[in-house]
């Protein structure tokens, strides 16, 4: 049987040496590197199955090495080795495609298990991916939510998808699912076998946007070395998603309006008129009415775009959807990170419900992703949620005065009451894990238990 090859990248000689001895004993082939640059070179030359990569390296950082390895071959498994406490970097690494992370100082037995498991699951994943590409079909993405607002939305989307309606405007705060909705419409319509092309109007400079959308003829301007088709032409029969339309520059708005009249255009520098059949779905988180008043958005374009207007509710106005979405993302990230998390603890669920979600569904998705990466049990606890969600005291629950930073409110406070409240919150956050709670308040376990007794939390 082929032996698996492991590359160890760490600047500490002793760690490299001990890992090499240990892993060889377990039957792996091992190569080592002391810098990120060497590590990257060996990743290419030796084609290892797995890389154990220290995050803190002199010169090129572990994160940079990770990105480059993944660019080069995304199948190589990378396990990050982090200094204690570098959790956010570890989370970032997982987002960039690391399989898992271990904190220094690590236990060799635990590390062996992670390595073994990762090599097994990666074989399995490769097989699944192969089967999936064979049966890949363009299907609409999952839209989760059972609130009345979502029921209504789904009914509208269904009608829009089946209709001939050629312009749709999706409005909603950032992270409410505008792009998701656009894709759903496309992949549920009879255009689904044709292209769905998205372009972010805010990210492309105005001069370039025109050529992106309409294309150009060879020689139309200095950089136009060859004829290029624009997105409208490429998406013929399908859908173009104009994201952040509220940021489109006025001159470009006029050109878009002209195109929308009869779906015909000329490439820049060209004479021939093309006519295409594309559905235009545009989206914005801006208040376009206000932009019109401020004269940054054309009134006539607004009416042309919003033949069918769709408004997406912020998450805080449809709290019924929070837990359904959270559980959906738990399943999604279980798959991505090979975890078997069942769900959230009751207290953690309450905190999610009590939070305002300024970043809407995207924020919730990121929160769950982070929690799955950090959690090792089968239930996600408060400890795995970001501080701003955990410390949010829902006004209706709070009976004690809010501790406003560390400043003393003019009416004064009862210091004992404040102490009691902090003890309660620390217990709450850690779900009554006393040693964790003590740590949060920087107290020794005895001092903490003394206070628990004093305030009646402990008999």
Ligand X SMILES: Nc1ncnc2c1ncn2[C@@H]1O[C@H](COP(=O)(O)OP(=O)(O)OP(=O)(O)O)[C@@H](O)[C@H]1O
Residues that bind Mg ion (CB under 5 A): 179
Smallest distance, Å, CB 243 to Mg ion? 5
Smallest distance, Å, CB 122 to ligand X? 25
Indicate which of Mg ion, ligand X, none lies near residue 176 (CB less than 5 to 8 Å, by partner kind). ligand X
Report how far apart, in Å, the C-alpha atoms of 230 and of each of 194, 266, 274, 387 are.
16, 10, 11, 46
Smallest distance, Å, CB 200 to ligand X? 8
Cβ neighbours, 10 Å, residue 441 = 14
Indicate which of Mg ion, ligand X, none lies near residue 143 (CB less than 5 to 8 Å, by partner kind). ligand X
d(CA 189, CA 182): 11
Strand pairing partners for 279?
A: 239
Smallest distance, Å, CB 153 to ligand X? 9
Indicate which of Mg ion, ligand X, none lies near residue 289 (CB less than 5 to 8 Å, by partner kind). none
Which of residues 235 and 312 has its CB atom nearest to Mg ion in the complex? 312
Smallest distance, Å, CB 174 to ligand X? 4
d(CA 181, CA 161): 10
Which of residues 289 and 398 has its CB atom nearest to ligand X in the complex? 289
Residue nearest to ligand X (CB): 177
Phi/psi for 402 (5° steps) reads: -70, 135
Smallest distance, Å, CB 360 to ligand X? 7
Indicate which of Mg ion, ligand X, none lies near residue 68 (CB less than 5 to 8 Å, by partner kind). none
Smallest distance, Å, CB 339 to ligand X? 19
What is the β-pairing status of strands 228-229 and 215-216?
antiparallel
Give the 3-state secondary structure of residue 167.
strand
d(CA 154, CA 162): 12
Which of residues 144 and 292 has its CB atom nearest to ligand X in the complex? 144
Cβ neighbours, 10 Å, residue 169 = 23
Indicate which of Mg ion, ligand X, none lies near residue 23 (CB less than 5 to 8 Å, by partner kind). none
Q: Three-state SS across 173-201?
A: CCCCCHHHHHHHHHHHCCCCCCCEEEEEC
Which of residues 28 and 184 has its CB atom nearest to ligand X in the complex? 184
Which of residues 154 and 443 has its CB atom nearest to ligand X in the complex? 154
Give the 3-state secondary structure of residue 32.
strand
d(CA 204, CA 107): 49
d(CA 337, CA 94): 8
Smallest distance, Å, CB 246 to Mg ion? 12
Which of residues 366 and 400 has its CB atom nearest to ligand X in the complex? 366
Which of residues 76 and 160 has its CB atom nearest to ligand X in the complex? 160
Q: How many CA atoms lie within 13 A of 125 on its CB side?
A: 15
Residue/partner pairs of 144-149 with CB below 8 Å, 24 or more apart: 144/321, 144/324, 144/325, 144/328, 145/318, 145/320, 145/321, 145/324, 145/325, 146/320, 146/321, 146/324, 147/313, 147/318, 147/319, 147/320, 147/321, 148/318, 149/313, 149/317, 149/318
Q: Which two tokens stand for residue 247?
A: 């940021």
Indicate which of ligand X, Mg ion, none lies near residue 322 (CB less than 5 to 8 Å, by partner kind). none
Smallest distance, Å, CB 419 to ligand X? 40
Smallest distance, Å, CB 279 to ligand X? 17
Which stretches of the chain bind ligand X, using CB under 6 A? 142-145, 172, 174-180, 285, 325, 361-362, 365
193, 179, 297: which is closest to 248 by C-alpha?
297
Which of residues 282 and 285 has its CB atom nearest to ligand X in the complex? 285
Which of residues 23 and 201 has its CB atom nearest to Mg ion in the complex? 201
Q: Which two tokens stand for residue 84?
A: 């204690």
d(CA 457, CA 443): 16
Residue 3 carries which DSSP code? P
Indicate which of ligand X, Mg ion, none lies near residue 362 (CB less than 5 to 8 Å, by partner kind). ligand X
Q: Which DSSP string do the residues of 113-165 spell out, in sequence order?
A: HHHHHHHHHHHHHHHHHHHHHHH----PPP----SHHHHHHHHHHHHHHHS--
Which of residues 368 and 426 has its CB atom nearest to ligand X in the complex? 368
């Amino acid at each position: 049987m082929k032996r698996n090859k492991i590359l160890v990248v760490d600047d500490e000689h002793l760690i490299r040496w001990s890992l090499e001895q240990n892993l060889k004993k377990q039957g792996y082939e091992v190569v080592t590197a002391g810098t990120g640059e060497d590590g990257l070179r060996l990743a290419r030359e030796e084609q290892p199955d797995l890389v154990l990569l220290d995050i803190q390296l002199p010169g090129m950082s572990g994160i940079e090495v990770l990105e480059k390895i993944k660019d080069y071959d995304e199948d190589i498994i990378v396990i990050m080795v982090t200094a204690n406490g570098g959790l956010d970097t570890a989370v970032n690494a997982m987002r960039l495609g690391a399989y898992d992370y271990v904190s220094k100082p690590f236990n060799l037995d635990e590390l062996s298990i992670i390595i073994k498991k990762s090599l097994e699951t990666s074989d399995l994943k490769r097989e699944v991916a192969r089967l999936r590409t064979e049966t890949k079909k363009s299907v609409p993405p999952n839209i989760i939510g059972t609130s009345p607002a979502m029921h209504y939305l789904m009914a509208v989307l269904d009608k829009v998808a089946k209709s001939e309606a050629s312009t749709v405007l999706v409005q909603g705060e950032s992270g409410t699912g505008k792009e998701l909705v656009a894709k759903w419409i496309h992949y549920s319509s009879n255009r689904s076998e044709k292209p769905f092309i998205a372009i972010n109007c805010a990210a492309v400079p105005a001069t370039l946007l025109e050529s992106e959308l309409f294309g150009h003829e060879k020689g139309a301007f200095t950089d136009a070395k060859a004829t290029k088709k624009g997105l409208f032409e490429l998406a013929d029969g399908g859908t173009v998603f104009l994201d952040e339309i509220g940021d489109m520059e006025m001159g470009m708005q006029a050109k878009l309006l002209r195109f929308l009249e009869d779906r015909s255009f000329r490439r820049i520098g060209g004479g021939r008129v093309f006519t295409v059949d594309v559905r235009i779905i545009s989206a914005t988180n801006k208040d376009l009415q206000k932009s019109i008043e401020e004269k940054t958005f054309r009134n006539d374009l607004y009416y042309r775009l919003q033949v069918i207007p769709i408004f997406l509710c912020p998450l805080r106005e449809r709290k019924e959807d929070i837990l359904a979405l959270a559980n959906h993302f738990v399943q999604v990230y279980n798959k991505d990170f090979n975890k078997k998390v069942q769900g959230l603890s009751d207290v953690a669920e309450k905190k999610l419900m009590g939070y305002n979600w300024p970043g809407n569904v995207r924020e919730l998705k990121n929160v769950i992703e982070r929690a799955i990466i950090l959690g090792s049990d089968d239930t996600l606890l408060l400890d795995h949620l970001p501080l701003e969600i955990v410390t949010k005291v829902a006004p209706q629950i709070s009976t004690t005065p809010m501790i406003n930073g560390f400043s003393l409110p003019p009416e004064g406070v009862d210091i004992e009451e404040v102490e009691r409240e902090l003890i309660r919150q620390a217990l709450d956050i850690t779900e009554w894990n006393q040693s964790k709670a003590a740590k949060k308040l920087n107290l020794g376990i005895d001092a903490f238990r003394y206070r628990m007794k004093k305030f009646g939390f402990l008999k």
